[in-house]
Each structure stands twice: as C-alpha cells, then as structure tokens.
C-alpha cells in the first residue's frame, strides 16, 4: 500500500506530558511550576505562541516536561494541526497531551501528530523517526490511525512521478489495497473498453502506449451501497490542445481524485464499516500521438449521450462520465466522485478548500458539519440549473468545454451530473496538492475531503 507507516505509543508505556497552554493562560499555568522552571521559561522568552514549544529541564539537567504554546483562539482559527510538528521536533520518546479538553481539538491534534510523520522518501532521503504519542482515553485511536494511513496512501500515490505512476502502477496500487482488505477487483483493459462500452475512456487514453483501463474494486456484502469514482488521469499533456510547459509541471497529480478515493476506501475497509463499497477508477494517460482524439470530434458515451470535443484538455470529465454511467446502472445509495477537474475551482476557493456539489440540502449539512469535526475544510458549490444550456452545443447533446470561461467548475459538475440519474450524487473538484509546507502537510500531494466524507457517512447512508 503506502511506504508511510505511523503508530501510537504502546498501551501502558510510560509517557512524558506535553502541557498545552494558551498564551493568555501561561502566567496562571507557570505559577504552578517550580521556581527553576519559571526562571527557564522567562529566560527562553517563551510566550506560548501557537506552534512554539519548550522542553523544561529536570533538576538533574535531563529533559523534563514539554510545554506547547496554543496561542489565541484567533490564531487557532487560522491554522490546523498546530501541535502536529511536535512529532518531529521533540526528542525521541513517548508523550501524551495534557490541557486539551475539547474532544474535537484533541482528535485533530492527535491526527496532526501522526500526519506530521509523513515524508515521501521513494527517491531521496529517509523516513523520519518521530516521537510517539499516546492517544488520550476516550479517543477512537483505530479511527485516527486509519485516517492517517489512508492519507499517507493518497500522498504517496500523488507524489510519485508519472514515469512510475501510470495506469499499470495505479492498477497495481489498487490491487494491493484490495488484497490487503480482502476486496475483489476487476480490470477492463485497452480495446476491451470499446467492446465493454466505455468509449470515452478509450478515446482519451488511446494515444498513449500505456493502455487505458477501468479499475473496479468491490468490498462488503451487506449494508447500504456506496460507489466512489476517482479520476485517474496519470499524466495530462492536454492532448492536441497541448498545455504550456508551466501548466504541465504538476500534471502528475491529475490522478489525485483516484488517489483520494483509494485513501478513503482504505479508511472504510480498515474500520470495517457496515456498507457495500465499490471503487471505480478510469486510469488513462492523456497523450499526444496520431491516434489522439481531436477538437471537433463527437464521441458517444456509455450512456448514449453524444459529446462534442471543444478542448482535449477537458478530458477528466469524459473518463469520469463513462464510469459514472456504469456506477448509476446499479443504483447504489450514493455515488461520490472526486477529481482534480478544473482550474476554475482553484481560482474560486484556492488550494486549501475542497469544493463539493451535493444533490440535497441534507447531504450538504452532513458534510459541512463533518468537515468541521475532522478539520478537513470543504466549501459547497451549486449545481446551478440555469447554466445547463452552457453545456449544450447544438450539434451534440453535450459540450466538454463551453466557451467563455465562466463558471468552469460548475459547468463541469453539471456535465458529470448528466450521467447520474438513478442515484443521489455528490462531486468533489479537489486540488490534491499542498503548494507550501504547513503543519502536518508537507509540500506535495495531499488528500482533500476524504475525512469529511468518512465522518459524514453515518448520516449520508444511514449507518
């Protein structure tokens, strides 16, 4: 699965306290410490600012308790996982938090501790050896561990460059995940995509020597049915509408939707949630060759809807459409797609928020509440019906790239929704990349929305 491993301190192991102290409480907290410790705090100029810490000395000169600054409520509102970096900043050993009374904050900082141990080391460097944390009593440690492992898998897949993460390798990663959890997997390959009626997956992937395919993973035998669909464009040149070099630099992450649904699938299966899970990943490379699909082509989708190609760089919605049509044929209780789909979404909300589209107010409320609980920020975007006419070109049923540039994320979501009729549907237009390092999130691939979905599943599916 992932090269990233994370663990808690063994149960019953002696641990050193990390006293979490807000800036306004430092004076009161310090009054209860020894005179030598108060002098040390003053000497070091420690003010309990968010993200700072101080190791207090024992009388014999060895390292003692740790005090971690928690800043102000305003500071904390502007930062997630602020205590996470302690995992790599503190000396090796086992620790526990003291002073965090809010259960959601405690869970967030515990998860942040585990995620801070992540480092992508496939090509250079070595894994960090973070200090270990003992989870507080009452926390669901197995759940937090599953979330960290799933996120690690997502990050590893996105961070791997495309020469080592093509459709073959994405299939192999999916197969390993399936084997780990006892799931079944079927793959439809290459020309069989045509006979199996996945013409748009085939059209997008046929220009590459790396064969296009549809990955189909199933797990669970009882409970409500959830189908996850992830965009698996392992590299996107833009096709004949070739991207400029600067826009191509990060296209290894164009399979971030598939990486995120695989991370979410791990969380679901590791926690043995009582549901029937299906994961569909159209895995392709959008390349340039004499067999590439062309601007002006009209493709007939699995659903029978015809699509005029006005830009070969709007390929993600094409491969997702065939997979969504297949998913909808079984009428599961919920279909949820994730894709690094549009630059318009990034312009609208930036890299830190995961824009999502929902079919009902109840879905929206469940997801928004869950996102707050698990520090996985999302933002609702509208399935705005009046824009439907923007994706209707006249010579075909649908246009894959409406002209004008307006509402790019919304029109893409409306395009996808045309392929789901029998099932409640949610869609995420994620970025999948951390542009600069932040607590518990090094620069590079990152999961978005998966934890929020996991936490919302009891309401979304009635578990």
Helix H or strand E segment including 118: none
Pairing of strands 213-219, 184-189: antiparallel
* Residues facing residue 133 across a β-bridge: 95
Burial class for 75, CB neighbours closer than 10 Å (0-12, 13-18, 19+) = middle
Residue 182 and residue 178: Cα distance in Å, rounded? 6
Residues 378/384/385/386 CA torsion (nearest 10 deg) = -170
* Residues facing residue 96 across a β-bridge: 17
Residues 397/283/277/199 CA torsion (nearest 10 deg) = 30
| SS3 assignment, position 367 | helix
Catalytic residue among 213, 278, 317, 417: 317
The backbone region for 100, taken as left when phi is positive above 0, alpha when psi lies in -120 to 50, beta otherwise, is: beta
Give per-residue burial for 116-137: e unless 16+ CB within 10 Å, then b.
bbbbbeeeeeeeeebbbbbbbe
Residues 89/94/99/103 CA torsion (nearest 10 deg) = 100
Residue 456 and residue 346: Cα distance in Å, rounded? 24
Residue 407 and residue 382: Cα distance in Å, rounded? 10
Are residues 145 and 114 in contact, defined by beta-carbon separation less than 8 angstroms? yes
243 is catalytic: yes
Torsion over CA: 269, 153, 254, 297 (sign): negative
CA nearest neighbour of 323 among 258, 264, 389, 238: 258
Catalytic residue among 33, 38, 243, 373: 243
Could you write out the DSSP letters of every residue in 45-69? T----TT-EEEEEPTTSSEEEEEEE
| SS3 assignment, position 271 | coil
CA nearest neighbour of 222 among 180, 179, 287, 273: 273
Residue 300 Cα distances to 177, 245, 387, 440, angstroms: 33, 31, 22, 44
Are residues 133 and 97 in contact, defined by beta-carbon separation less than 8 angstroms? yes
Active site positions, annotated: 243, 317
């Amino acid at each position: 699965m992932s090269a990233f491993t994370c663990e808690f301190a063994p149960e019953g192991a002696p641990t050193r306290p990390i006293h979490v102290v807000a800036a306004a409480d430092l004076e009161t907290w310090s009054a209860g410490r020894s005179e030598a410790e108060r002098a040390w705090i003053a000497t070091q100029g420690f003010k309990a600012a968010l993200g700072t810490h101080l190791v207090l000395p024992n009388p014999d000169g060895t390292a003692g308790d740790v005090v971690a600054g928690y800043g102000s409520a305003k500071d904390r509102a502007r930062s997630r996982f602020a205590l996470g970096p302690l995992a790599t900043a503190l000396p090796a050993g086992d620790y526990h938090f003291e002073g965090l009374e809010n259960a959601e904050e405690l869970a967030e900082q515990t998860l942040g501790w585990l995620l801070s141990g992540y480092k992508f080391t496939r090509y250079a460097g070595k894994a960090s050896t973070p200090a270990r944390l003992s989870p507080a009593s009452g926390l669901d440690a197995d759940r937090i561990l599953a979330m960290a492992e799933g996120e690690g898998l997502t990050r590893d897949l996105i961070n791997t460059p495309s020469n080592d993460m093509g459709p073959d390798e994405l299939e192999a990663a999916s197969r390993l995940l399936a084997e780990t959890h006892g799931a079944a997997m079927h793959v439809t390959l290459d020309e069989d995509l045509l006979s199996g009626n996945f013409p748009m997956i085939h059209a997008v992937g046929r220009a590459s020597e790396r064969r296009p395919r549809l990955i189909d993973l199933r797990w669970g035998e009882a409970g409500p049915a959830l189908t996850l669909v992830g965009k698996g464009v392992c590299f996107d040149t833009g096709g004949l509408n070739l991207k400029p070099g600067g826009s191509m630099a990060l296209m290894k992450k164009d399979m971030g939707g598939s990486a995120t649904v695989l991370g979410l699938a791990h969380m679901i299966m590791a926690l043995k949630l009582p549901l029937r899970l299906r994961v569909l990943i159209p895995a392709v490379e959008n390349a340039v060759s004499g067999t590439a699909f062309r601007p002006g082509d009209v493709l007939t989708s699995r659903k029978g809807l015809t699509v005029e190609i006005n830009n070969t760089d709007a390929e993600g919605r094409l491969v997702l459409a065939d997979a969504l049509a297949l998913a909808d044929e079984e009428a599961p209780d919920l279909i949820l797609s994730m894709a690094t789909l549009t630059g318009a979404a990034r312009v609208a909300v930036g890299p830190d928020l995961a824009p999502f589209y929902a079919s009902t107010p109840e879905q929206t409320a469940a997801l928004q509440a869950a996102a707050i609980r698990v520090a996985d920020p999302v933002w609702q975007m509208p399935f705005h019906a009046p824009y439907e006419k923007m994706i209707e070109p006249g010579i075909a049923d649908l246009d894959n790239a409406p002209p004008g540039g307006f509402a790019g994320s919304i029109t893409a979501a409306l395009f996808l929704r045309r392929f789901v009729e029998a099932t409640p549907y949610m869609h995420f237009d994620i970025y999948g990349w951390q542009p600069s390092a932040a607590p518990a999130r090094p620069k590079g691939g990152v999961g978005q929305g998966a934890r929020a979905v996991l936490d919302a599943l009891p309401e979304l599916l009635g578990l």
